[in-house]
Structure formats: structure tokens, C-alpha cells
Amino acid sequence: MKFDTLIVKGIEAKHNPHKAIIPPIFLATTFVQDGIDEWQDFAYSRSHNPTRDNFEDLFARVEGAKQAFAFASGMAATSSVFSLLKQGDKVLLNNNVYGGTYRYVHGIFANQGIEYELVDDLNVIDEIDDNVKMIFVETPSNPLLRVTDIERIANIAHQKGALVVVDNTFLTPYYQRVLSLGADIVVYSATKYIGGHADVIAGVVATNHEELAERIQFMKNTLGATLSPMDAYALIKGLKTLSVRLDRQAENTHKIIDFLTQHSGVKAVHYAGSYSDHERAIQQKQASGIGAVISLALQDGYDSKIFAKSLELFDLAVSLGGVESLICHPASMTHESYSAELQDKIGITQGLLRLAIGIENAEDLIADLNQALDKAKI
């Protein structure tokens, strides 16, 4: 089945009780067993739950993975992946990753005897040290939308037996299939585009490696950061409209990029592939779209605080991926865990603003940006 059909018809009604079009929500915490040594498929919902299993099975098919695991948040999903590491290991990450990911590696790795290094541009790496056991890639990155060549990084990592993990939150499997590019694990904040309606906190991990899958399942069950049945149902429902939402959001995004790049009050617009011709070529090679997140900086003589406050259709809020358009200030909202020095080095300036484009009418969104820019001129 094509992607659009699979996300709608992937859970077949004929396999549900009473042939229900929508799979039921099983809220039970525990399940009756037929007898000692007569165990059923489900025993306790922290370990497995029929509704959550329905989502995980569907998402594995959507991702092109053998197994997928649903977590209570994107950070719970990322934490489970980092649990694969042991004392003495080292992790490479691109330097502008999600602030929560940086908070984890900066605040927890040292206690576990794990090293990490933030790399300005993973695309220039030709080899890695023997103690590097994982390369964690966010592409396009947050919030500067830098692009990393997944296939090239995978080839380099696998020569030394290192794992490649890709945070694919911004593009989803609809625009970028990272496992087919050589990544060992893909991780998502499903709070964003997978859910798509800003009403569920969730994360997903998927892989084709059985040993890695067993370890991730072990950590999910042991640490208990599993997704509730209600939230699993919300993801099933959200996933059904992923392609139509992203297509509309991407269409709006291209129109907004065109407007902003031509406005005299805008100094820079960042989007996937905008950094250089090389990154644009990588993006076009490994993805079918640029997504719906961009960031921008205003020219001198424009006040970014007035601009953000003057917007009427872009709500000032963290997160992204819902049908609503949002604006955020990365330096103080999503990446506040970065030191001021590190923010400056990476390019997360006080004037940088991130836009998450929704499904509203593009003309209305552009008009809103235009009037806010007029008000922001000082």
C-alpha cells in the first residue's frame, strides 16, 4: 500500500472486535490469565496493551521497520535509546539539536561515565574514534534547520561498529525514511506531527535490529515510560491525517519562505537546505520535502519582541507539528538549557525566531506576518 492508504487502512476493521472501523481503547491495567503456565498475549498494560500494540504495529509498517515502540514522551523515547550506551562510550551529536536532548547528554552522561561531543558539521567527518559508539543526528536540525547526510554518516559509523540514531521528528516517515538510508534507529517526538493536534505527549522509537529492539522493549517495560491507551488511540487517529496535514503545511511554508526572503525587514530565513548548495543537495537526495519549520532573524531596526507580540495568528508557544501556526524564541524557550556561550557559537541568537507553520490559509498567515513586521520597525 502507498503511504496515504497505509496510514488510513493499516489497522483493518475485520481484525477488530465486531469489525469496528476504529480499533477499541483497552483501558484495563491487567488481564485475566487462563491458568498458571497458560499465559495470554496480554498480562499487564505497562508491558503490553492492545491499543498501544495496535499503534506500534501500524507505525512499524509506516516507518518500514520491523518493530516500533511507543513512549510517554519524545524525551522518554530518546532516553531509551541512550540507555543502549555503557560506561566509556562516546556519542557524537550535531551541535544544534533539541534543547531537551542536549539537557540529557550534558546533565546525565557524566554520571554514567559516557562522553559526548557536539560537532559543528557532521558532514565533514571522515572517520571516528574507536570509543565513539553512537552518532545522534537531528536532520533537519532544531532550530537552524541544518541538514546532515544520513547515508554518509551511517557508512562512516558502521565501519567502526557504531550506531546511527536519527531524530526524524521534523520530517516524519512521510518525507524522510531514515532506516532505508542506513540509520540503525529512528526516534520521534510523536507529540509533533505524528499526533498532529497538540493534544498528546508521546514518543516513538523504531528499528530493524532485533537485538536493539529487545533492549529498547526491556527499557520501556523496566523504566515504565510507556504510552497510555488513550494517548495511543490519539496517535492512531492523528496518524490517519499525517500526509494531508503535512502537504498543506509544506505548501504554506513555501509561500511564507517566499514572502519572508523578499521582505526588507528580514535578515535571514533558515529552512532545510538553505544553509548551502551542498546541504540543499543532501536534502533533495534523502527527503521528499523540507517540512514546515523555519527560523528567521530580523534586520537591524526591527524589534523581535514587538514582532512576536504583534502576531495574531502565530501563537507564542513551544512545540510544533500541530495544525496551528506557532512562533517561539529558541534562546529562551526550547534551547534555554544551552549556555549563552554555546548559543552564540551555534548561532542561536537572541533575535532568532522559529516558526511552525500550520494549516491555516496561507494568505492570512502572510498578512499576519506582514502587519507584525510593520509594527516591529523602530
Instruction: Give burial (CB, 10 Å; 0-12/13-18/19+) of 34.
Output: exposed
Cα separation, 170 vs 145, whole angstroms: 9
Catalytic position from the list 167, 220, 233, 338: 167
Cα separation, 199 vs 239, whole angstroms: 13
Closest CA to 99 of 347, 333, 345: 333
Catalytic position from the list 4, 46, 103, 315: 46
| Contact predicate 181/150, CB 8 Å | yes
Quote the cell numbers at residue 49.
496493551
Q: Is 192 a catalytic residue?
A: yes
The one-character DSSP state at 338 is: S
Q: Strand, helix or coil at 181? A: helix
Q: Is 199 a catalytic residue?
A: no
Cα separation, 113 vs 258, whole angstroms: 47
Amino acid at 366: I
Cα separation, 304 vs 248, whole angstroms: 27
Name every residue whose Cβ is closer than 8 Å to that of residue 114 and which is 6 or more positions away in sequence. Answer: 85, 86, 87, 88, 89, 90, 91
Quote the cell numbers at residue 185.
534507529
Catalytic position from the list 89, 98, 149, 175: 98
| Contact predicate 166/188, CB 8 Å | no
Q: Residue 236: enclosing H or E segment and its boundaries? A: helix 229-239
| Contact predicate 369/260, CB 8 Å | yes
Q: Residue 62: enclosing H or E segment and its boundaries? A: helix 50-63
Catalytic position from the list 192, 220, 240, 248: 192
**Active-site residue set:** 46, 98, 167, 192
